[in-house]
Amino acid sequence: MAQVLQPLRHVLHELMLPQASAPLVSMLLIIVVCPLVALLMILRRPSTAATATRSASDREQLLSKLPSPPGRLPVIGHLHLVGSLPHVSLRDLAARHGRDGLMLLRLGAVPTLVVSSPRAAQAVLRTHDHLFASRAYSPVTDILFYGSTDVAFAPYGEHWRQVRKIATTHLLTARKVRSYRRAREHEVRLVVAKIREAAGAGAAVDLSELLNCFTNDVVCHAVSGKFFREEGRNRLFRELVEANSSLIGGFNVEDYFPALVRLDVVKRMVCAKARRVKSMWDELLEKLIDDHASRLPAAERDGGEETDFIDVLLSVQQEYKLTRDHIKAQLAIMFEAGTDTSFIVLEYAMVELMQNPGLMTKLQAEVRGNILLGNKQGMVITEDELGNSNLAYLKAVIKETLRLHMPAPLLVPHLSMADCDIEGYTIPAGTRAIVNSWALARDPSCWEKPEEFMPERFMEGGSAAAMDYKGNDFRYLPFGAGRRICPGITFASCTIEVMLANLVYHFHWELPPGSKEKGIDMTESFGVTVHRTHNLLLVPALPH
Ligand code: HEM
């Protein structure tokens, strides 16, 4: 119950009752909010056109056939069974109460299909991909992303198809991603220089902080061009991404009690912070777009060599009939989707390598054995050098990190647009589907020693050698699959590979004195992504 009430408490604390004690807030929730929700649920109207095609009782009848855990409570349904790490709770619940990889949870007022087997994931993300490719309405993403017109939260339809096409054919193509390689290398050089300085002084570095800034700055450069550090814009973007994450992350009251949010007073409460954050985004994005619009057209600048996302979006604005808000929505989502995710993978890769020193040595031997930079100050491994050397173990380490620590373990929830049959059950239109990609990647019936960090499984001759992360194998879906698969795979893998290669090439790494005995704290927090709670502090040393 505590976890369920957490978001509600958070909202009340933030917006109404800063001084109230936790038990008081919980009591208020139970006494005031729950009956309100119950009343609204009785009075509620169907919320989407899709659901309107079936009567509520028909829908209920179909849903009631799906396996579902006992212990459902009035109003909150199964929410009390979902702990602070939902991907773990959902895996455990599905193991006990699911059937054929399917389980129905009533999360507040929203029936949610939890998908936990490769076969069921294939049914949702391949066989019926066209039916499950939509997203549910959320008042908060609606505010933050200009009416959910961004590519990640837009419902399936013509607008989403257009903005998805822009992302895949203009912003995130292999060619475009490659055009930012010098910028990425420059950012790598800055990180390496900072670590070198700490190594000289024998001091620990906050690797989490450095890597978080790195991924943020790489995305900032791609989105807004080479002046992204002016007036501390990169720092502001980072703060805004964090603010967005705290608003859209986790299991939120507004998503699971849609009827409640229809009440004006509640909507104002829930959305107040989102509006404040959005207005800061808006101011920054407006300024950046104005700066770009008043410059020479991109093709006439710098020999037309590198154009950022704002240049590109302005250049296709007429062709795709984009409004200014549409442009801002795409820019904001690129920050949100691109920053934290790559940072999490880099950080966990280093954590796993520190916990498995033999694997660290093996990776260092591969990188150092294949690439020779010489001793010139400021030299870093470039992406061309990476491309020319076959660093299979580096790639395997990244794949294995993505398997054990996927940043988005439940993908982004999908929404079905029409009835369909899966494993003999009819799933009615308008059902939310959560694919537990984390559970699939740790399923003992699919993976040998699933809890162990073993990059070798992805090497030639290993049990997962043929697996890529492009959504072709439903045991391994760190980027999702089907129509909604992540379009940023190339962007992410280039960013992660070049940074990780340089971290292990240039330095030896030790845990700081004092934490050697305790080891690395692996506590995680669940939000829009799953990340480590404590920063990773390591002591770098220069190899002799
Ligand atoms: C390691 C890094 C990354 C991981 C693990 C990751 C993972 C994911 C996942 C799981 C989804 C949801 C798929 C679904 O709904 O089924 C997604 C969507 C998305 N990602 Fe990524 N992502 C990463 C990096 C990036 C980067 C660097 C960008 C862009 C710069 C990006 C842009 C997007 C966008 C725009 C969507 C929404 C796609 C849609 O709904 O059509 N991602 N990502």
The amino acid present at 244, given as its one-letter code, is: N
Q: What's CA 85's distance to the chain center, in Å? A: 15
Q: Which two tokens stand for residue 75?
A: 């109003």
Residue 248 has pLDDT above 80, yes or no: yes
Q: Which atom of ligand 1 is nearest to the CA of 406?
A: 5
Q: Does 349 sit in the ligand 1 pocket, CB within 6 Å?
A: no
Sign of CA dihedral 436, 440, 445, 450: negative
Residues 6+ apart with CB under 8 A from 130: 483
- List pLDDT tens digits, range 63-110: 999 999 999 999 999 999 999 899 999 999 999 999 999 999 999 999
**The predicted structure's pLDDT at residue 253:** 77
Q: Binding site residues, as ranges?
A: 486
Q: Does 487 sit in the ligand 1 pocket, CB within 6 Å?
A: yes
Taking each helix axis from N to C terminus, what angle separates 392-404 and 357-370, rounded to the nearest 10 degrees?
140
Q: Which atom of ligand 1 is nearest to the CA of 408?
A: 10
| pTM as predicted | 0.90
Phi, psi values for residue 470, rounded to 5°: -100, 20
Q: What's CA 131's distance to the chain center, in Å? A: 22
Q: Ligand 1 centre and the CA of 486: distance in Å?
A: 4
Q: How far, in Å, CA of 398 to CA of 286, rounded?
A: 37
Q: Does 108 sit in the ligand 1 pocket, CB within 6 Å?
A: no
CA angle, 71 then 73 then 75, to 5°: 155
Q: Does 338 sit in the ligand 1 pocket, CB within 6 Å?
A: yes
pLDDT bracket for residue 228 (50, 70, 90): confident
Contact assessment for residue 75 and residue 253, using Cβ atoms and an 8 Å cutoff:
no
Contact assessment for residue 229 and residue 187, using Cβ atoms and an 8 Å cutoff:
no
Q: Ligand 1 centre and the CA of 260: distance in Å?
A: 30
Q: How far, in Å, CA of 115 to CA of 132, rounded?
A: 12
Neighbours of 463 (CB within 10 A): 14
The average pLDDT across 199-214 equals 95
- List pLDDT tens digits, range 114-140: 999 999 999 999 999 999 999 999 999
Ligand 1, atom 19: closest residue by C-alpha: 486
Share of the chain above pLDDT 90, in %: 71
Q: Does 345 sit in the ligand 1 pocket, CB within 6 Å?
A: yes
Residue 55 has pLDDT above 90, yes or no: no
**The predicted structure's pLDDT at residue 23:** 36
Q: Comparing 278 with 17, which gets the higher pLDDT?
A: 278
Q: Ligand 1 centre and the CA of 173: distance in Å?
A: 14
Neighbours of 356 (CB within 10 A): 17
Ligand 1, atom 43: closest residue by C-alpha: 486
Q: Binding site residues for heme, as ranges?
A: 486
Neighbours of 96 (CB within 10 A): 10
pLDDT bracket for residue 11 (50, 70, 90): very low
Q: How far, in Å, CA of 426 to CA of 207, rounded?
A: 48
State how beta strands 110-115 and 432-435 pair. parallel
Residue ranges of domains in the chain:
44-541
> Given ligand 1 and candidates 149, 479, 528, which is best to mutate, with the most ligand atoms within 8 Å of its CB?
479
Contact assessment for residue 487 and residue 167, using Cβ atoms and an 8 Å cutoff:
yes
Q: Does 484 sit in the ligand 1 pocket, CB within 6 Å?
A: yes
Q: Which atom of ligand 1 is nearest to the CA of 341?
A: 2
Residues 6+ apart with CB under 8 A from 413: 112, 135, 136, 432, 433, 434
Q: Ligand 1 centre and the CA of 484: distance in Å?
A: 8
Query: For 44-541, which CATH superfamily applies?
Result: Cytochrome P450 (1.10.630.10)
Neighbours of 426 (CB within 10 A): 15
Instruction: State the chain's mean pLDDT as an integer.
Output: 87
Q: Ligand 1 centre and the CA of 333: distance in Å?
A: 10
Residue 469 has pLDDT above 80, yes or no: yes
Q: For the chain, give me the number of helices (H) and strands (E)?
A: 24, 11
Range in 22-36, 216-230, 371-385, 398-412 with the lowest mean pLDDT: 22-36
Contact assessment for residue 8 and residue 33, using Cβ atoms and an 8 Å cutoff:
yes
